[in-house]
Amino acid sequence: MKVTIITIGGKFESDWNTALVIPSFEKDFPVQSELLSEELDMLIQSIVDREVFLGKEGEVFFIPIQDAKYAGVILLGLGSKEKLSEEKLRRAGGNIINCVHTNRISRIVFDWSKLCTSYISPIVEGLILSSFSYENFKTELDASKTNKVNIGTVVFLTHPDENIGRVIEETNDTVAICESVNMCRNLVCTPANDLTPGALAEFARTMCDKVEIKSRILTRAEMEEEGLNAIIAVGRGSSREPCMIIVEYKHPDYTGDLIALIGKGVTFDTGGICLKPRDNLHEMKYDMAGAGAVLGVLYALGKLKPKMSVIGVIPAVENAPGNNALLPGDIIRTYSGKTVEVLDTDAEGRLILADAISYAYKKYSPHTIIDVATLTGGCITALGHFCAGIMGNDEQLVRSLIRIGEKTGERLWELPLWDDYEKLIKSEVADIANLGPAREAQTIVGGIFLKNFIEGNTKWAHIDIAGTAWGVDHISYWSKKYPTGFGVRLLTNWLVSNC
Ligand code: BES
Ligand code: MN
Ligand code: ZN
């Protein structure tokens, strides 16, 4: 999708597949646009007078016209002018895509001359995110049934007083970030027979080459040598060998501290010997959504080139119940030296993250570690799909992430990590256990477990995306059918706003 921004009155291409979008507020009529003919003005006024279109939030009204330059006009309802927000524009972008799809529009022109240019980025986000589809495995693509939305060009016509240069730059960054989100979503959709840990590593390597950032893959043998025993242990039940992916972004002029992002990369979670029930088991291909998010962030950084230093560390494994699999009761000596009693092989995410966190700490001494993981089903029970759970050891870090979450629409809600919860993972035989009491604060217990692997005065936040990575309904720019790429916009914007 190509986004062009020009001052109203300037030249732009249009044809009979082009739609002209007129954003409208509730009770703010007549609709005004210098691009509308007198006839169209009257037609729209009659639609408004008959109260067919009210300008309410969520409304999208298409008026086909017979014109060589336009397929039609889209009236876009934005609700109350005073209550306009970035999130409303993001959702408006999503709503437009549905309309554009049914009417086979391939070019959209927005009359943005009555709106603030700072609202262009969020609506662009809505447009790009809701255009996502995954049809790699559809052999016969019937054009009328496809989910694919092909919008070639989007044009914004801005008020003559606006500084377009700055808006263009900002919009280009937004497009780059959204493309990284969609790259992540594509990865999360990929089935586990294609996306093995090795394939994920290969993907990461190719991605890094594209944006010229460094990548390094630790093979199973190298991990064994290094003592990354928790990752090895979880990977033992599968014939698809585990590996660790390390992606490094560093701006050449930056000499300051480094931030580490850790992403859970379980390419499929059967539960291992503690096998999961069969219902909806296929969904567990998305247990690498944390890894996808981390790769998405690094891809975006590679394109935006901000002044900072970030590493992504991804433990990639398949959790399977093969005959060499990890067993309940096994004790693992983790990379940190701490021993863990495995009471449940399905609580595998915290095991591999523990080693990845310790490895990042030991080799890179980051001042901040943020991990992203589809860690607990309990997070869906507690918070549903509209926000992710966040926990951490630094109030300022957690606050700043929550704030960016509200701005980007990738919302977070904090859960406590009080010391009392430590008691829930006491082990009789090892330093800690990987499981707490049944049905008790599962998400917090996951966070508490990870906290045990944070050393020194490293600031740390843990984001549980089990509910937000997939299955989000009722938000127009996401889709229940597809993963969301949750974390990419959140973390990229957080990083960029911090530097
Ligand atoms: N990958 C799952 C968590 C999950 C479940 C994500 C459902 C998305 C949807 C994780 O590895 C897991 O199995 N967690 C267990 C933890 C339990 C054994 C403490 C769970 O949620 O049941
Ligand atoms: Mn599991
Ligand atoms: Zn898992």
Q: How far apart are CA 329 and CA 332, in angstroms?
A: 10
Q: What is the atom index within ligand 1 of the atom nearest the CA of 442? A: 19
Strands (E), 137-258: 153-158, 214-218, 243-250
Q: Quick check: 185 and 482 in contact, CB under 8 A? A: yes
For the Cβ of 328 lying below 6 angstroms from any atom of ligand 1, the answer is no
Burial of 143 (0-12, 13-18, 19+ CB in 10 A): exposed
Q: What are the counts of helices (DSSP H) followed by strands (DSSP E) for the chain?
A: 13, 18
Mind listing the pLDDT tens digit for each residue in 115-128?
999 999 999 999 99
- CATH architecture group of domain 178-497: 3-Layer(aba) Sandwich (3.40)
Token look-up 């007198």 returns: 38
* pLDDT at position 147: 78
Identity at 320, one-letter amino acid code: A
Across all residues in the chain, what is the average pLDDT? 97
The DSSP-derived string for 400-464 is: HHHHHHHHHT--EEE----GGGGGGG--SSSSEES--STTSSHHHHHHHHHHTT--TT-EEEEEE
* pLDDT at position 144: 67
- Helix 164-189 to helix 120-130 angle (10° resolution) is 20
Burial of 327 (0-12, 13-18, 19+ CB in 10 A): middle
Q: Take atom 13 of ligand 1 and give the residue whose Cα is closest.
A: 346
Q: Quick check: 436 and 368 in contact, CB under 8 A? A: no
* pLDDT at position 142: 74
Cβ atoms within 10 A of the Cβ of 306, count?
A: 17
Q: What is the pLDDT along the chain (499 residues), one digit of tens a residue?
A: 999 999 999 999 999 999 999 999 999 999 999 999 999 999 999 999 999 999 999 999 999 999 889 999 999 999 999 999 999 999 999 999 989 999 999 999 999 999 999 999 999 999 999 999 999 999 877 766 777 778 999 999 999 999 999 999 999 999 999 999 999 999 999 999 999 999 999 999 999 999 999 999 999 999 999 999 999 999 999 999 999 999 999 999 999 999 999 999 999 999 999 999 999 999 999 999 999 999 999 999 999 999 999 999 999 999 999 999 999 999 999 999 999 999 999 999 999 999 999 999 999 999 999 999 999 999 999 999 999 999 999 999 999 999 999 999 999 999 999 999 999 999 999 999 999 999 999 999 999 999 999 999 999 999 999 999 999 999 999 999 999 999 999 999 999 998 7
* pLDDT at position 232: 98
Phi, psi (5° rounding) for residue 7? -70, 140
CATH number for the domain running over 2-162? 3.40.220.10
Cβ atoms within 10 A of the Cβ of 458, count?
A: 18
Q: How far apart are CA 456 and CA 352, in angstroms?
A: 20
Q: What is the atom index within ligand 1 of the atom nearest the CA of 271? A: 13
For the Cβ of 377 lying below 6 angstroms from any atom of ligand 1, the answer is yes
Q: Quick check: 201 and 315 in contact, CB under 8 A? A: no
* pLDDT at position 498: 87
Q: How far apart are CA 97 and CA 259, in angstroms?
A: 36
Q: How far apart are CA 373 and CA 422, in angstroms?
A: 20
Domain spans of the chain? 2-162, 178-497
**Residues catalogued as catalytic:** 276, 350
Q: How many CA atoms lie within 13 A of 114 on its CB side?
A: 16
- Of the listed ligands, the closest to the CA of 344 is 1
* pLDDT at position 433: 98
Token look-up 């039609």 returns: 72
Taking the centre of ligand 2 as the mean of its atom positions, its distance from the CA of residue 274, in whole angstroms, is 9
For the Cβ of 435 lying below 6 angstroms from any atom of ligand 1, the answer is yes
Q: How far apart are CA 264 and CA 373, in angstroms?
A: 5
Q: How far apart are CA 334 and CA 314, in angstroms?
A: 16
Identity at 368, one-letter amino acid code: T
Q: Take atom 16 of ligand 1 and give the residue whose Cα is closest.
A: 347
* pLDDT at position 369: 99
For the Cβ of 349 lying below 6 angstroms from any atom of ligand 1, the answer is yes
Mind listing the pLDDT tens digit for each residue in 374-428?
999 999 999 999 999 999 999 999 999 999 999 999 999 999 999 999 999 999 9
* pLDDT at position 146: 78
Burial of 4 (0-12, 13-18, 19+ CB in 10 A): middle
Mind listing the pLDDT tens digit for each residue in 232-265?
999 999 999 999 999 999 999 999 999 999 999 9
Least Cα distance to 24 among 129, 110, 117, 153 occurs for 110
Q: How far apart are CA 296 and CA 208, in angstroms?
A: 11
Phi, psi (5° rounding) for residue 60? -135, 120
In 97-118, which positions are buried (b, 16+ CB within 10 angstroms) versus exposed (e)? bebbbeeebbbbbbbbbbbebe
* pLDDT at position 143: 67
Cβ atoms within 10 A of the Cβ of 478, count?
A: 27
Token look-up 């082990």 returns: 427
For the Cβ of 466 lying below 6 angstroms from any atom of ligand 1, the answer is yes
